[in-house]
Amino acid sequence: MSRDLLPRLLVYLRHRKEHSCIIISGEVGAGKTLVAKQLVAALKRLNIVVGGILSPRIVQDGVTIGYTVCDLTSGEERPFTALHPPGIVVGRFFIDQQALDLARRAIEGAARNAQVVFVDEVGRLELQGAGLASAVHTLLNSSALPVLLIRDSFVSAIVKTFSINQYIPYHIS
């Protein structure tokens, strides 16, 4: 994690405006989730209440075969995506409906109770108004500071779709 992201986040947390957030962007495999995990640990050490979700990869023989969803408040984890049905098709993966429900609940609960809320990740489904879109809207309208993980190719569309007025970009290459 870059040393400058944590101080910038802390300043932004104090002076956040409505519909503003931190956006961590990068391509698939760039390390967005790793940076977010490090940031979560640093915030917790500062006694800042964090919540939301992270979705680390499930890798087998060097190949990504799915993702897990982890509720940062409760610690609950479950398989989020897999290469095979059942589930909601997104790209080459199938999203587990129960895991999606867990993710929504985690984000919406954290929007009410946490200071900083992570969403890993906002993408194709959310641009269609599905997936975590309703939870992201709830979060952006809350007093919590959203930290959204987004693939580079979706950043502009997400900013427009969710009417994000201002954000701190953090690009990972």
2 pLDDT tier (thresholds 50, 70, 90): low
The angle at the Cα of 23, spanning 12 to 73, to the nearest 5 degrees, equals 80
14 pLDDT tier (thresholds 50, 70, 90): confident
Mean pLDDT over each residue of the chain, to the nearest integer: 94
Looking at residue 27, the DSSP 8-state letter turns out to be -
Question: Which domains are present in the chain?
Answer: 19-171 (3.40.50.300)
Q: CB-based burial of residue 131 (10 Å sphere; 0-12 exposed, 13-18 middle, 19+ buried)?
A: buried
pLDDT of residue 21 exceeding 60: yes
> DSSP strand E in the chain: where?
20-26, 50-54, 57-60, 63-71, 77-82, 88-90, 93-95, 116-122, 145-151, 166-171
How many angstroms separate the CA atoms of 90 and 29, rounded?
17
Percent of the chain scoring above 90 in pLDDT: 87
If you average pLDDT over residues 120-141, what whole number do you get? 97
Task: Quote the pLDDT of residue 16.
Answer: 77
Task: Quote the pLDDT of residue 30.
Answer: 95
